[in-house]
Amino acid sequence: MSKNKIIVFGGTGYYGRHIVRSLIRNGEAVKVLSRDKTKAKKILGDKLEIIEGDIARRESINESLKGTKATVLSISAFHPKLIRKMQQIEGDAVLMIFDEARNKGIDRVVYLSGYEMGENILRKLRLQKFGAIKLEIEKTLSSSSLNWTILGCAPSMELFFTFLKKDKMIAPGGGAKAIPCISAQDVGEIAAQTVLRSDLKGKRFRLTGPEALSFPQAAKRIASLTGIPVRVVKIPLFVINAASIATWPFHPFIRYVYWSLKLLNNFPLDLAEKVPMDHQLLLSMFDYTSTTFDEEIQKRLMSPGD
């Protein structure tokens, strides 16, 4: 069997679908593994192979890797229906993929992780559990013989628009710290180019757009471009924390949302200051046109004639 396809695990997800589209645009043969083939086809179209199966089952992983030359892992269980299976999906399944890829002689692996999985900051904020799985995966991959590259993804620019409600921007915790952000399309293009290259073994890149932005800064930029005043409405983190504790036994997703918001509200200043440099590195290493936050605003909130 010839090995000519690239498999994107998590290919129907928020970043994964953009990776699939970029690979197809570049003329690559692509496949994905999905629990629902019909739903995957609606999201991704019919210019790829869709294997129906469960990523948590070794049999499905084994079948999906047949005829594959490289793998991209953009796997997330950050969803209300999947959060209880996070260890199974983001941890155990990923380790199985590494094992089966190695067994089949598939050397090239690209793994999408968190922006910067620093143990010190996680320990300081008591968020070890929040980052434990990705830390374990990165350590396992780093010590392996695979030709691996890790892409540490910043939050999507979508974050700011998710919390934008007409003329109000909801800012959980205040959102005063500037955080890196990136267009999902840019993640897709960079990841697609990365998996096709063999010269990036052992590299880890922080994927970001041109600038770090706080919630108030994002609101001000939106108001400036649209001409519509945007008021920042701050919600104290302790309110979300209390709700997450109360709902933990029957709805643990809110707890994970709180942990992510706590991390964003305590984003390290030194990493935020490195965003322009990290972005320039990406521009020098990959052939793509970076999307700015202003362009995202124009695309989402302004008509072509504005």
pLDDT tens-digit profile of 167-217? Answer: 999 999 999 999 999 999 999 999 999 999 999 999 999 999 999 999 999
Altogether, the residues listed in the chain come to a count of: 306
> Could you give the percent of the chain with pLDDT greater than 90?
92
- Residues of the chain with pLDDT below 50 are 1
Residue 227: predicted pLDDT: 95
Pick from 179, 206, 190: which is nearest to 265 by CA?
A: 179
pTM: 0.95
d(CA 269, CA 177): 8
Residue 129: predicted pLDDT: 87
Residue 55: predicted pLDDT: 97
Q: Do 244 and 238 contact (CB within 8 A), yes or no? A: no
Q: Which domains are delineated in the chain?
A: 5-154+183-209+273-286 (3.40.50.720)
Residue 1: predicted pLDDT: 45
